[in-house]
Each structure stands twice: as C-alpha cells, then as structure tokens.
A = this chain, B = another copy of it.
Amino acid sequence: MAFPNRLFLTMLMAETWLTREGGSSAVVISSRARLARNLVGLPFPQRADKTTQRHIFQHIIRAAEQVPSLAKAQVLDLPALSRVERQFLMERHLISHEQAFSPGERGVIIGEGEGLSVMINEEDHLRLQAMEPGLALAGAWQRVARLDQELGKLLEFAYMEEWGFLTACPTNVGTGLRASCLVHLPALVLREELTEVLQGITRAGGGARGLYGEGTKAMGDLFQISNTTTLGLSEPEMVAMLERVVTQVIRREMEERQALMAPALRIQTEDQVYRAWGILTQARAISYEETLQLLSRVRLGRALGLDLPVNTGVLQGLMLATQPAHLQILQGKELKTEERDLIRATLVRQWLGNEKRKKGERRCLTDLRKERNESF
C-alpha cells in the first residue's frame, strides 16, 4: 500500500476544527450539524444499482463544484482509496463508519479546513455536515444551512409539503437535521453518575452514542450527544433544544468535577490523573483505547487545574494523531497492531516529553513535520 494522495498528509499537518478549542471546551470538544438530502426521482443509494449510484455521484459533484461554500473543496472517490485511507477519513469524523467500510459508489467532498463536508451515497444521496470546535451548535447549523441553500439552487431535493425532506430512514424525515456535540465526561464516569445523566438526555429528546457515532463504542469518556427526532420542531428549535440538553450535561459534569476535588476524594483523583500521566510518558507499547483512556484522565487533570506540563491542544492533537489509520498515514505504510502500539507509544512520549521543554508552544504540527521531515 502506498499513499500517493498528498491530501492526507496535508490534512494531518493542518490546524482544523479538530485541534482548535472553542466555547465550553472544558467539556465540549466539537459541535456538528448534518442534513440528510436526496435527489428527487432517483432511488435511495441502497436500492440503486451501480450505474445509478455513479450517475447520482456525478450529478452531485457537478453541482458542488459551483457552490461558494465548497470552493477549494476536495472530492474523494471512496472505492479508489485503500481501507486505511477510508478509515483515516472516518477517524477525522469526515465520513461515517458505514461510508468507510460498506461497498458502493460512495464519495466525500471535503471543504477547506475540514469544517464542511458532503458524504455522497451514504444512507441518503447527500449528507451535508458542518463541524465547529467547542459548543457552537448554532454556528454549525448556520454553515450547513447555507450550503443546503446553495446546493438546493442547483439540485432538486425530494421534499413533500406534508413530511418535509424525504430520507431513506424514517428517523431522518422532516428537517433531515441531526445536531450533535462530542463531549468529554470523565467525572460523570468516575463518579458513576453517567447512566443517570444519559437517562436524562433520553427523556429530554436526545441520545448518546460512541466516539465514531451510531453503533460505535464509547472510549476515553467521550460521547456524542445528539437529537433523536427530526420532526415536529423547526431547525432552530431543534438546535436550541439540543443546546439546552448539552448545557445541562456540562453543568452536571462540572458538579462532579468539583466533587472529585473535595477533600475526601482529592488524593484519589490526583492519583488517577498522575498515574495516567506516568504511564503515557513511559509506556513502550500502547493500544489506542488505553491511550484515549489515559489522555482522558490527563485532560481531566488539566481541567481541574492540576500541575501537568501539557496543554489541552496537545492532548486533543494526540487523541487524533494516535488513531490507527492516522499512525499508518503518518508512517506511509500499513502497520500491524503490535507495530502501531509501539509507534503510538513513541509518538506520545515525544509529544508529551517535548512539551516539557517548550511549555505552551503548539506541538501538534511541528512534531508531525519533524516526524516526516523528508516531505516538508
């Protein structure tokens, strides 16, 4: 396997919504708004044959090339990419797990800075998506709505006055909007309050999923909170509703963080944080799941004000860069699990170790450049 596509390395180096910090960033890593759209008169992707899928793909690309929001966007034909490259896109939340690993004439359009993207022939013909760092649901919604308007002038979307936008799965019918936040809830997990909070989210009309969305595992105390219904409310009402839910979750998480620093628990909390730091800075082989779990503890420690020679940007950069496909793109070759575990541990030690000497400096990009100094 070779990675001729320079795009992936460029993406690795660039500063995106994934490594920037936004509002309420102590708890909310990022906000997302996505719209499901389908072209009128054509079968949904799963019912379409290969030729029809190809026709849909081309039709959408031609429209996308003309809209201002997608100027300088990159179009990727997923079947032409290797499995690792597709996983890389999934790890960056640009495509879904299904889009990455299921067959079909699938594609993705990636806007400048990765903040805007369009999945083609996923469950629906189009999935428009806008991402923002931190808690910024309204901002994400506004950007995806503008893209929707621009594309709507060039493409005819399947729409019924009575139902709204038609989608392959009835849970998306109506607005086709799914808004979500990626939140970090280590204190709720440690204090065993998470189940109760998740029940509260469900009662309020939301849902919680794993790190990579529907059907994926929660790792590193990271959860995606989203709205579950797409009918009955206007888009701004939905966004406002989810923002209220997330604000409640933030409040509960902050309460439990305070409890972790109360006299009775403080030593135990510090112990957990510093042990995580000790392992991260010394391990010689480490899985992604363990890395994420330990980074979660260290991120919590930073949020609690503990003295740790690292900033949140570096931690977030590591959460991203230590993912399996990211490591393989970085190394320019396919790696076995054991090889990845070794390279991951080395990368983590380098970033966290260097950080000690040059406190406060952004490490994510410079270190990656150092790693691959032949290319830059």
> Which A residues fall within an 8 A CB radius of B?
267-268, 270-271, 274-275, 277-286, 338, 342, 345
Residues of B within 8 A of A283 (CB): 271, 274-275, 278
The number of times this chain is found in the oligomer is: 2
B275 touches A279 (CB 8 A): yes
Least CB distance from A265 to B in Å reads 11
- A-B contacts, 19 listed (Cβ < 8 Å): A267-B284, A267-B338, A267-B342, A268-B285, A270-B284, A271-B283, A271-B286, A271-B345, A274-B282, A274-B284, A275-B279, A275-B282, A275-B284, A277-B278, A277-B282, A278-B279, A278-B280, A278-B281, A278-B282
**Cβ-closest chain B residue relative to A284:** B271
7 interchain residue pairs of minimum CB distance = A278-B282, A278-B278, A271-B284, A274-B282, A270-B284, A271-B285, A278-B279
Expressed in whole angstroms, the Cα–Cα distance for A30 and B279 within the complex equals 32
With a 10 A CB-CB cut-off, give which of A271, A282, A283 has the most chain B CB atoms: A282
Least CB distance from A307 to B in Å reads 12
Least CB distance from A342 to B in Å reads 6
Least CB distance from A132 to B in Å reads 35
Extra contacts besides A277-B282, A278-B282 (20): CB < 8 Å: A267-B285, A267-B338, A267-B342, A268-B285, A270-B284, A271-B285, A271-B286, A271-B345, A274-B282, A274-B283, A274-B284, A275-B278, A275-B279, A275-B282, A275-B284, A278-B278, A278-B279, A278-B280, A278-B281, A278-B283
With a 10 A CB-CB cut-off, give which of A274, A283, A338 has the most chain B CB atoms: A274
Residues of B within 8 A of A267 (CB): 284-285, 338, 342
Residues of B within 8 A of A342 (CB): 267
Residues of B within 8 A of A286 (CB): 271
Expressed in whole angstroms, the Cα–Cα distance for A282 and B273 within the complex equals 9
Expressed in whole angstroms, the Cα–Cα distance for A283 and B277 within the complex equals 9
Expressed in whole angstroms, the Cα–Cα distance for A274 and B285 within the complex equals 10
Residues of B within 8 A of A270 (CB): 284
Residues of B within 8 A of A271 (CB): 283-286, 345
Expressed in whole angstroms, the Cα–Cα distance for A285 and B267 within the complex equals 7
**Cβ-closest chain B residue relative to A269:** B284
Residues of B within 8 A of A285 (CB): 267-268, 271
Least CB distance from A308 to B in Å reads 10
Least CB distance from A289 to B in Å reads 16
Expressed in whole angstroms, the Cα–Cα distance for A283 and B267 within the complex equals 10
Expressed in whole angstroms, the Cα–Cα distance for A267 and B277 within the complex equals 20
Least CB distance from A320 to B in Å reads 23
Least CB distance from A146 to B in Å reads 48
Residues of B within 8 A of A345 (CB): 271
Least CB distance from A197 to B in Å reads 27
Expressed in whole angstroms, the Cα–Cα distance for A338 and B271 within the complex equals 12
Residues of B within 8 A of A268 (CB): 285
Expressed in whole angstroms, the Cα–Cα distance for A283 and B279 within the complex equals 10
Residues of B within 8 A of A281 (CB): 278
**Cβ-closest chain B residue relative to A272:** B284
Expressed in whole angstroms, the Cα–Cα distance for A137 and B114 within the complex equals 71
